[in-house]
Amino acid sequence: MIDHLPVLLIAVPIVGATLPLLVGLAADRTGWPLAALTLLVQAGLATWLGVAVATGGAVSYEVGGFAAPYGIELVVDGLSVAVVVLVAVVALGVLAYARRAGPHTDTFYSQYLLLVAGLSGMTVTGDVFNLYVFLEITGLAAYGLVATGDRPSAAVAALKYLLIGTVGASLYLFGAAYLLTATGTLNMAHLAELLGTEVAYDSTLVVTAFGLMVGGLAVKIALYPVHTWQPDAYSRAHDTVSVLISALVSTVAAYALARVLFSVFTVRFFEAVPAAQTALTVVAAVSIVAGSVLAVSQSEVQRMLAYSSVSQFGLVVGGFGVATPAAVIGGVVHLVGHAVMKGGLFGASGIVRRATGAARIEEYDGLAARAPVAAAAVAVLALAMVGVPPGVGFVGKWYIVLGALRAESWGLVAVLLASTVLTLAYFARLVERMYFTPPAGADEAHEPTVTDGGEASEASRPSSERASDGGADPVSLGMVALVVAAAVLAVALGPAVPAFEGAIEGAIQNLLNP
């Protein structure tokens, strides 16, 4: 059983994805319980695998018994197990949000499980072509999920996402084809062996393959300037979907970038082709600045959060680009931390819109009185993202800056430090409006305040123009619980990182010195 854990992580959600459709033929509204059951099993398997990897080291699985490098190999090491556990836990947590927030159709939960299968597959695969296939499975599920938004503009956002995302994935495939031409293999470990020995790192084929693969993944991560699909997709999608894809999809694509950088090309490629490292760091630095500037100029909260992702993934990729142990640890910590914080922020903004109808930043005036729990969660998550200790955002940035300092890339250090101020620039005004600006209509301030866990959301709703859409939707305990859990995790994960530092460092050292 333990031997088959890596493949079960992919097989369980795929088989589970067929169940809501099949059972849905006979009984109504079975999607949620079936998805919950599948994801409970998935989370159990992921945790089990996490314990196995932590105690026994990396696990490798040969699919169908064909020996690598000819067969397809699944590899789970310290880094991938962290991402697999993140995917399983976040997917399970978001289900608590989906219980009331819906969509309640059976097909939605089938797609939801397919997305989890694609993300798990991207994480555990040890084969560059397989990574492409799982990238497209993830993409297809994500396009479909974005289109489930209530408004017709969701379909437009999904089509835009599909067209740009497909070009990104195709570029990645093109790069993988270049690698196949150069070396004749697709297995990541085998590629790492052959590159630099059989094929020179600075040969045109290898450098082009690097550019195409990184460029393709940059589209999926939504780095500037290929981020244009992301704000529409995040803000037009259904609330549940926004939480799920903002927490996981770009995160796993960034993990795939780390895999390609360190398991395929390895740090020795950076030593042989310094221009590639420079290019990657420059793209990251531009993303940090441009994403923040775009976020500051937004008036819709969800679009601001989406542009903030462009900036935060710049930080993560910057950490990977520096490629020293401290910077890569920082990148991974910020990757996991960002998933928790951004998912929580999207969840909280969904709750606020349901409870009070507020979707724009100026409508957040005095929110602390109208929806205290959601406002507190937004404040905690925003401050953690800015990098206020002990939030997880602080720990991630600390390691990235430390790594960049040790690598003496001063330009990046300056941008990284400035990024804290830039992040503060768009989150501080949100916190300021929630806690220190009275609501626009003075008479509304005297209405009885209601907790956002409650039934009385109708009463707390401002009567006038704010209740444009979604104002009367119910907010359930599960939705609030997810957001509060994200806020608690964002604070608790920070101090926990030093405790795990030994384990993380070991995994990163293995990754950087294969």
What the block records as the tokens of 235 is 């803000």
> Per CB under 8 A, does 193 bind other proteins?
no
Which of 170, 208, 449, 510 contacts other proteins by CB under 8 A?
A: 170
d(CA 73, CA 71): 6
Asked if 177 touches other proteins (CB under 8 A), the answer is yes
Interface of this chain with other proteins, residues 87 to 146, rule: CB under 8 A:
129, 132-133, 136, 139-140, 143-144
R_g of the chain computed on alpha carbons: 22
Tell me if 368 contacts other proteins by CB under 8 A. no
Which of these ranges, 10-18, 154-162, 190-198, 483-491, lies near other proteins under the rule CB under 8 A?
154-162
Could you tell me if 301 and 361 are in contact, meaning their C-beta atoms sit under 8 angstroms apart?
A: yes
Cβ pair 226, 218 in contact under 8 A: yes
Among 211, 201, 217, smallest CA distance to 266 is for 201
Distance CA 194, CA 201 (A): 10
Nearest to other proteins of 21, 159 (CB atom)? 159
Planar angle of CA 96, 103, 309, nearest 5 degrees: 70
CB 79 within 8 A of CB 511: yes
Minimum distance of other proteins from residue 123's CB (angstroms): 19
The window from 23-31, 168-176, 263-271, 482-490 that contacts other proteins (CB under 8 A) reads 168-176
219 binds other proteins (CB under 8 A): no
* 373 and 330 Cβ atoms separated by less than 8 Å: no
Cβ distance to other proteins smaller for residue 114 or 483: 114
81, 113, 122, 162: which one contacts other proteins (CB under 8 A)?
A: 162
- Binds other proteins by CB under 8 A, chosen from 22, 37, 51, 163: 163
Specify the stretch interacting with other proteins by CB under 8 A; choose among 178-186, 247-255, 331-339, 397-405: 178-186
435 near other proteins, rule: CB under 8 A = no
Length of the chain, please? 514
Of 156 and 472, nearer to other proteins (C-beta) is 156
Q: Dihedrals φ, ψ of 8, to 5°?
A: -65, -30
Cα–Cα distance list, 240 to 119, 298, 351 (Å)? 17, 22, 10
Per-residue CA distances from 231 to 157, 234, 237, 246, 363 (Å): 9, 5, 10, 10, 20
Q: Considering the complex, state which of residue 128 and residue 335 has its C-beta at the smaller distance from other proteins.
A: 128
Q: Is 448 in the site for other proteins (CB under 8 A)?
A: no
| By the rule CB under 8 A, 159 interacts with other proteins | yes
Residues that bind other proteins (CB under 8 A): 129, 132-133, 136, 139-140, 143-144, 147, 152-153, 155-156, 158-159, 162-163, 166-167, 170, 173-174, 177, 180-181, 184, 186
